[in-house]
């Protein structure tokens, strides 16, 4: 199968001689990414001459990490040293001029042969990757950190390897909520950018008594600006190969760090409360995720403090967001009390109604064993994993 990323509808006919008849044309970065994800055979990606160089390299760079068997061929109107160097750094296999059809045919043949060799030696290494869970709300104060810490601690208490990442890099509260005093933080990854591995990630982790590993936010808010989104993506891809679960706490905004997390997430836990601003922001968040190409089946909507008597009902929320609520978590003064003690309520008071609701969320919607029946896949199928995406488009 050949995927041709070219906006020109006549491109398929032009390149059939060189690429064969099994060509699927796509016209955007989001469509190219989605088609690659859904491809059930090892594809060849050919990027047309009018595609933006930065977008082409972004997709190739990510594919090199997440799908090393994928062959990428880049076509340009003219070649120069700068184009060749940038393409090679991004993992493009070959770069040719658009009118060199014979060269394109040879390059496609060589790339398919290499893909077969790489895929043959690759085994099932990808099957051991962990599950990435991002907890998000575009409104502050809805309980994201409480959810993240409790879900992470619960999964860790069951014997899973779990990393909790605090992506509220300026004002994160994960460490203080768990009464941790981290010696290192996410800012210590900056020096490892581009060559981060599991050992480097482990060097910045702080261990919680529940067995949960925590990658804490920097102690200085100004450090957040020094951490690029691409480094966050790199860290999360390394983390998913080292852990069974990666739980991500986020700030209440679509920052570049949050977008990087969305790109590698299997499940998005979207939190709302019974107030008009929170519901409005959730509706806007869902619309934004649609625009970013995020799959609807990966989203789990949770209503926190669902029993609050404030003149708004759960039915009103469903009508406003046009999506069902998966789990309703009651309000309780025990929750802030547990935060003040630095002990997740799900471990400290396992029979509490809040703990029960959080366990339901984890067991029914987040764990790998039953995810196929609850997050959009048919019973008996493997859970659909959106391993990588550049639907947001371009460099940031």
Task: Measure CA 336 to chain center.
Answer: 29
pLDDT digits (tens, 9 = 90+) for 186-206: 999 998 888 888 888 999 999
Q: Edge-to-edge strand order for the sheet containing 71-76? A: 23-26, 2-5, 44-47, 71-76, 94-97
Q: Report d(CA 360, CA 186) in Å as an integer.
A: 30
What per-residue confidence (pLDDT) applies to 90? 86
23-46 residue pLDDT tens: 889 998 888 888 887 776 667 899
What confidence score (pLDDT) does residue 40 get?
60
**Cα 174–176–178 angle (5° rounding)?**
70
pLDDT beyond 90 at 393: no
Compute the distance between CA of residue 148 and CA of residue 332 in angstroms, rounded to an integer.
17
- What mean pLDDT comes out for the span 53-80? 86
Model-level pTM? 0.64
Stretch 141-170: mean pLDDT, rounded? 94
Is pLDDT of 318 > 80?
A: yes
- pLDDT > 90 in the chain, percent: 49
Query: How far out from the chain centre does Cα 256 lie?
Result: 12
- Distance CA(216)–CA(141), nearest Å, equals 19
* Residue 379 clears pLDDT 80, i.e. is over it: no
Sequence-ordered list of residues with C-beta below 8 angstroms from that of 241, at least 6 positions apart, any chain: 128, 129, 130, 198
* 3-class SS shares of the chain: helix, strand, coil, % to 5: 45, 15, 40
Percent of the chain residues past pLDDT 70, beyond the cut = 89
What are the start-end ranges of the E strands in 27-111? 44-47, 71-76, 94-97
What is the arithmetic mean of pLDDT over 201-224?
Answer: 92
Q: 126-374 domain in CATH 3.40.50.300? A: yes
Q: Around 36, how many Cα atoms within 13 Å sit in the side-chain half-sphere?
A: 29
CATH architecture of 2-123: 3-Layer(aba) Sandwich (3.40)
Lowest mean pLDDT among 101-105, 115-119, 311-315, 392-396: 392-396
Average pLDDT rounded to a whole number, residues 135-154: 94
- 1: pLDDT strictly greater than 50: yes
Instruction: Please report the pLDDT score of residue 120 as a whole number.
Output: 56
How far is residue 249's CA from residue 151's CA, in Å, rounded to a whole number? 11
Which of the given ranges, 74-88, 101-115, 126-140, 260-274, has the highest pLDDT on average?
Answer: 260-274
pLDDT, mean of residues 211-236: 92
Average pLDDT, rounded, for the chain: 85
Write the pLDDT tens digit of every residue in 175-187. Answer: 999 999 999 999 9
Sequence-separated (6 or more) residues with CB below 8 Å from residue 68: 118, 122
The pLDDT tens digits for 351-366 are 999 999 999 999 999 9
Of 298, 313, 297, 306, nearest to 356 by C-alpha is 306
For position 173, what pLDDT does the model report? 93
| CA distances from residue 84 to 39, 333, 371 in whole angstroms, order as listed | 28, 61, 43
Q: Is the pLDDT of residue 371 over 60?
A: no
Question: Which stretches does DSSP call E strand in the chain?
Answer: 2-5, 23-26, 44-47, 71-76, 94-97, 131-136, 162-166, 206-207, 213-215, 245-249, 267-273, 299-304, 327-329
Return the residue matching tokens 């001029």. 97
Q: Which residues contact 120 (CB under 8 A, 6 or more apart)?
A: none
In the chain, domain spans: 2-123, 126-374
Higher pLDDT, 64 or 347: 347
d(CA 363, CA 358): 9
Residue pair 133/246 in contact (Cβ under 8 Å)? The answer is: yes
Average pLDDT over every residue of 58-75: 83
């Amino acid at each position: 199968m050949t995927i041709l990323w070219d906006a020109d509808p006549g491109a398929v006919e032009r390149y059939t001689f060189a690429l064969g008849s099994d060509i699927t044309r796509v016209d955007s970065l989001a469509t190219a990414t989605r088609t690659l994800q859904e491809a059930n055979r090892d594809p060849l990606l050919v990027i047309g001459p009018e595609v933006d160089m930065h977008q082409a390299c972004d997709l190739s760079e990510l594919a090199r990490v997440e799908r090393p068997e994928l062959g990428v061929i880049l076509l340009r109107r003219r070649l120069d040293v700068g184009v060749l160097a940038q393409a090679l750094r991004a993992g493009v296999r070959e770069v040719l001029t658009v009118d060199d059809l014979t060269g394109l045919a040879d390059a496609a043949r060589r790339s398919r042969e290499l893909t077969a060799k790489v895929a043959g030696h690759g085994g099932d290494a990808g099957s051991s990757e962990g599950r990435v869970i991002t907890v998000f709300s575009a409104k502050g104060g809805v309980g994201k950190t409480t959810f993240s810490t409790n879900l992470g601690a619960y999964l860790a208490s069951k014997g899973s390897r779990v990393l909790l990442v605090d992506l509220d890099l300026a004002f994160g509260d994960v460490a203080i909520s768990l009464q941790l005093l981290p010696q290192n933080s996410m800012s210590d990854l900056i020096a490892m950018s581009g060559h981060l591995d599991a050992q480097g990630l482990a060097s910045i982790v702080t261990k919680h008594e529940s067995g949960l590993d925590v990658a804490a936010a920097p102690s200085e808010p100004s450090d957040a600006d020094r951490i690029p989104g691409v480094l966050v993506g790199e860290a999360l891809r390394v983390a998913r190969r080292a852990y069974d679960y990666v739980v991500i706490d986020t700030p209440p905004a679509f920052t570049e760090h949050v977008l990087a997390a969305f790109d590698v997430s299997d499940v998005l836990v979207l939190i709302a409360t019974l107030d008009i601003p929170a519901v409005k922001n959730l509706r806007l968040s869902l619309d934004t995720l649609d625009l970013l190409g995020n799959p609807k089946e990966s989203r789990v909507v949770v209503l926190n403090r669902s029993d609050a008597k404030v003149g708004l009902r759960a039915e009103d929320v469903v009508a406003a967001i046009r999506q069902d609520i998966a789990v309703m978590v009651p309000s309780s003064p025990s929750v802030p009390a547990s935060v003040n003690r630095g002990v997740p309520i799900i471990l400290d008071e396992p029979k509490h109604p809040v703990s029960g609701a959080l366990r339901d969320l984890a067991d029914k919607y987040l764990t790998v064993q039953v995810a196929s029946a609850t997050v959009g896949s048919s019973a008996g199928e493997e859970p659909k994993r959106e391993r990588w995406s550049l639907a947001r488009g371009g460099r940031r």
